[in-house]
Every structure is written in C-alpha cells, then in structure tokens.
Amino acid sequence: MSAWVLPDHIADVLPSEARHIEELRRGLLDTARSYGYELVMPPLLEHLESLLTGTGEALDLQTFKLVDQLSGRSLGLRADTTQQVARIDAHLLNRQGVTRLCYCGPVLHTRPDRPHATREPLQFGAEIYGHAGLEADLEALLLAQDCLRVAQVRDFSVDLADVRIVRSLLAGVPVEAQVLRAVHAALATKDASELASLTRDFPEASREGLLALLSLYGDAKVLDEAERALQRTPGVRDLLANLRWMASRLGETPVTFDLADLRGYAYYSGTRFGIYARGASDALVRGGRYDEVGAVFGRNRPAAGFSLDIKQLVSVVPPRPLKAAIRAPWGEAQDVNAAIAALRSRGETVVCVLPGHESEVDEFHCDRELVNIAGQWAVQAI
C-alpha cells in the first residue's frame, strides 16, 4: 500500500473546499454569538469514562479508544462534543442561570454514520442550559435555521417529533432491554409485522398505540390523527400541543412530523427536530431537548441544542466566488514592498509572481495588477 493512501472515509480537504468550510465556520460562530452563545473548545481526547458515561451503546461503538502512555488509563477520541460541553457547564462553569454555549471542532467516528460520509466530521453545535420551557427548544431550532440561512442553504424543511410519546406508550410495560431495542428499531424502519410480533403480549392500549405510530407521519394533520389514535395514553395530548406550538412559530418554513422517528432515542428526553434540504441525503441538522445529558456529572439540569457537520453542509450549498486578488511583481526594492504592504493592510490579497514562475492558485482571481507607472506603483485592472 502506498504511504500516501489515507484510511477509508478519511480525506484531505483541498484549497477550494477548505476555504468554503472555513468561511462557513466563521459565519456559523458569528451567528451563534449574535444569539448570545459563548464559544468553548473542549479537547479532542478525554478519559473514556468521562467521554462515554451516560451516552449509550451507539456512541461507544463510534468512539476510537486508546491507552494513555502517561497514566495507563483508557482514553477516547471524541465522536460527539455534546457530552463534553455538558461537563463544562456542570463542573467548570457551574452557573445558576441560563448558559448558552457553542463549539466547532473535529470529531472522529470508527465508521461513517451514513453512506459516503466522512469519518472525521467538523461538528458545529449550540447548547442552552438551565431553562425547562419550550422557549429554549424553539430558540435552538430558530438558531439552527438562521445558521442554514447564513450558509445559503435553500428550500429546507423541519421535521418534528417527541420521544416522550413512545415512552408514554411504554410506561408501566415490563420490557427487557433487548426487546425494547428491537421495538425501537421496528418503529424506526416502520416494520409493522415485526412490531406486531414484538408487542403481541403488550397491553392493548400500548400495542395499538405503537402500531398506530407507524402511519403517523406527514403534515400538521398527523397531530389531529395522533390525538384520536392515542387518546387512551396519558399526557400525549399535551405533547402534541407542544409540537403544534413549535410548528406555529417557524413562519414560512415547511414543517412535517414523524412520531415514530426514534433516532437518538437514548439521548433525547423531549422534543427533537431534524432539518432537511434539497440535495442532502440525510438531515443537515439534528437537535432537540436532552435534559439528562448532565446527570452523570452530578448536575441534571435542562438542556436543549443542536449540531451539524460543516463538511456535509458545504456539499449542498452553492460554491463561493473566488476572492479577488492583485498580482504583483516580486522585488527587493523598498517602494514596491511598501506598496504591497499598504495593499495588504487594507485587506487586499496580493499574490507576488516569483522570478521565472507564474503563481498557480485555485482560490484567487487576479483581476488587477500592481504596475509601475511613471515611477509610482498603482493598481490597474487586468
């Protein structure tokens, strides 16, 4: 094998894409800051028990593990940043009121989480801690939408659900963990025959309610259908009302509902959302409420937020135009170097042509040139 061949689903990012990713990163962080979110930078590497405690089996399987040569303890390369931000909120900041935090950095997965995905996403996310009301859920969703608008994503739609609906249907039903996982899988794949087999011994209300969920997806009419189908399940009416409230505050954004969508079931504790856009094979953004995320750190307080992969995002948004630049001769004379320095100080990109070579660049459009006219250096159009 050649030394320069990279592992599967790991790739170098070349100039054009790298510039686009960096511009998106800056735009997303600026958007989060405009909402009052403070930037944190957790480490890429942590003790395994801190990184994985309370996260469920799925994240464990996605995490690369290694041994610390200094301490002999097991370490993990983060596969998700949310748990780390919860640790920061719980132990390092330990504030009493609302805390808004955002982050952006690489994560590493043992396997791609969707077809053709990278195993090294650049994860951006925002989290709001300390408020249990729907206002925090809505703020996270509105910020996520604004981030996509800043990235120039067009024609996106929001899908809403609430994991507490399934939990209400299973309340009081003695179910082994293995069967419970199979029920979740059948709901996710909308496998009616498998779900009917798994729930054959469940109480009638639970069984019929779970089977009804398989067809409860679509526009706002779904919530009316769910209210009729699940009327025997305590608390569901309030949960459906919450979803109506969220949807009514999203303006012109198309909204759908999938009440059987259980992605992240072990992680979310309430409303959850996905944002989809034309050209993307999967959701660009996933988020919702996860009040239990800080419990393992001894501080179980309300939390809501979202995350996205900037590398995925850049693949579905329009390419950015090349940055205009000025071509200049290379020289040692003080006057030409002073002219170049003055242009750069004003924010211009100046590409010097080295002796005997034209510069080969992919990212700059040299539409002007620095030339000497009657002993004075001036910029003129090419």
What confidence score (pLDDT) does residue 299 get?
A: 75
Chain segment 224-279, per-residue pLDDT in tens: 999 999 998 899 999 999 999 999 999 999 999 999 887 766 678 899 999 999 88
CA dist 84 and 43 (Å) reads: 8
What confidence score (pLDDT) does residue 264 get?
A: 65
Full residue range of the structural domain in which residue 81 is found: 1-155+278-320
CA dist 191 and 300 (Å) reads: 35
CA dist 280 and 156 (Å) reads: 10
Confidence tier at 293 by pLDDT (50, 70, 90): confident
DSSP assignment letter at 91: I
Residues 37, 140 contacting (CB under 8 angstroms): no
What confidence score (pLDDT) does residue 159 get?
A: 96
Residue 272 lies in a domain: no
Q: What are the E-state strand segments in the chain?
A: 38-39, 45-47, 64-67, 74-77, 99-106, 122-129, 156-162, 217-218, 255-258, 271-277, 285-289, 303-309, 323-329, 350-353, 364-373, 376-381
Per the structure, how many domains does the chain have?
Answer: 3
Same domain, 303 and 329: no
pLDDT, averaged across the chain: 91
Same domain, 28 and 119: yes
Confidence tier at 2 by pLDDT (50, 70, 90): low
Residue 352 lies in a domain: yes
Confidence tier at 357 by pLDDT (50, 70, 90): confident
Burial class of residue 379 (count of CB atoms within 10 Å of its CB; 0-12, 13-18, 19+) = middle
The CATH number given to whatever domain includes residue 92 is 3.30.930.10
Residue 54 lies in a domain: yes
Residue 140's nearest CA partner among 323, 319, 339, 286 is 286
Same domain, 176 and 88: no
What confidence score (pLDDT) does residue 267 get?
A: 75
Same domain, 337 and 315: no
Same domain, 42 and 146: yes
DSSP of 125-182: EEEEES--SHHHHHHHHHHHHHHHHHTT--SEEEEEEEHHHHHHHHTT----HHHHHH
What confidence score (pLDDT) does residue 213 get?
A: 94
Residue 99 lies in a domain: yes
Same domain, 46 and 102: yes
Residue 180 to residues 166, 184, 187, 207, Cα–Cα distance (Å): 11, 6, 11, 13
What confidence score (pLDDT) does residue 255 get?
A: 97
CA dist 169 and 321 (Å) reads: 52
Residue 271 lies in a domain: no
Residue 68 lies in a domain: yes
Residue 270 lies in a domain: no
Same domain, 310 and 297: yes
Chain segment 61-90, per-residue pLDDT in tens: 999 999 999 999 999 999 999 989 999 998
Same domain, 221 and 134: no
Binding site as annotated, residues for L-histidine: 80-82, 123, 127, 263, 267-268
Same domain, 148 and 43: yes
Residue percentage of the chain with pLDDT more than 90: 71
Confidence tier at 296 by pLDDT (50, 70, 90): confident
What confidence score (pLDDT) does residue 56 get?
A: 61
Same domain, 133 and 21: yes
Chain segment 299-312, per-residue pLDDT in tens: 788 999 999 999 99
- Checking if the pLDDT of 330 tops 80, the result is yes
What confidence score (pLDDT) does residue 59 get?
A: 84
Binding site as annotated, residues: 80-82, 123, 127, 263, 267-268
Same domain, 68 and 128: yes
What confidence score (pLDDT) does residue 361 get?
A: 73
DSSP assignment letter at 265: T
Same domain, 138 and 248: no
C-alpha 328 chain-centroid distance: 41
What confidence score (pLDDT) does residue 337 get?
A: 95
Could you count the other beta carbons within 10 Å of the beta carbon of residue 240?
Answer: 20
Could you count the other beta carbons within 10 Å of the beta carbon of residue 130?
Answer: 15
